[in-house]
Amino acid sequence: MNAVLELHGQQADIDDDRFYEVVRGERVEKHSMGIPQNLVCTALASYLWMYVRHERLGTVAAETLFVLDEANRLERRPDLAFVSRERWKRPAQTGAWNVVPDLAVEVISPTNRAPEVLEKIHQYFAAGVRLVWVVYCEPRQVYVYRSPVSIQVLTPEDTLEGDEVIAGFTLPVAKLFEDLDDIEEPIGEERPD
């Protein structure tokens, strides 16, 4: 028997392992990433986590539900987030983390719709997120949002930087997409050594 949780007037199964977000008090299912998106997100999480951990800047969290606006019952689950030591609050054992991340990352899957992604970007900045990265596996680009209207598009020839949010962090964009080359090779063809 599944335990039931009251979520802003709605009942939700605690044992339900589906990802969801809460928008205007309504629970909205979040679709899982495809394999290419998961590989890119994992690569970025690894590079980011190693740097943040080494520099003792805070923490990196994947697929974590954050309370962005308690009054308007808004909880979002970025694919990846960075929370600085300055913003750190001890997370609850269950439910959403009542902290606004410094960085939110969305890795775009085929199920993502542009209006929904743009709405999230605006909500992130309205809540106090300082930097948003939107990653597209095809084409291989990273959109760096420093505000909802200040956007820089990076290609594999560019370098992704943490700006003042993650001071000193740099990563060649091409490194994010390296694993995609392996899964896009035709079956039966061998790679030259």
If one compares 82 and 30, the residue with the highest pLDDT of the two is 82
If one compares 74 and 56, the residue with the highest pLDDT of the two is 56
28 — pLDDT class (breaks 50, 70, 90): confident
What percentage of the chain has pLDDT greater than the value 70? 80
* Alpha carbon distance 193, 176 (integer Å): 22
Task: Encode 75-96: b = buried (16+ Cβ within 10 Å), e = exposed.
Answer: bbbbbbbbbbeeeeeebeeeeb
98-144 residue pLDDT tens: 999 999 999 999 888 999 999 999 999 999 999 999 999 999 999 99
Contacts of 42 (CB under 8 A, 6+ apart): none
Strand partners, 7: 10
* Alpha carbon distance 40, 43 (integer Å): 5
State the pairing for strand pair 10-13/4-7: antiparallel
* pLDDT at residue 10, rounded to an integer: 40
Over residues 138-153, the mean pLDDT reads 97
57 — pLDDT class (breaks 50, 70, 90): very high
10-22 residue pLDDT tens: 444 444 456 766 6
**Among 158, 114, 163, residue whose Cα is nearest residue 134:** 114
**Among 155, 161, 116, residue whose Cα is nearest residue 136:** 155
Residue 61 predicted with pLDDT over 90: yes
CATH of domain 17-182: 3.90.1570.10
* pLDDT at residue 144, rounded to an integer: 98
Average pLDDT, the chain: 84
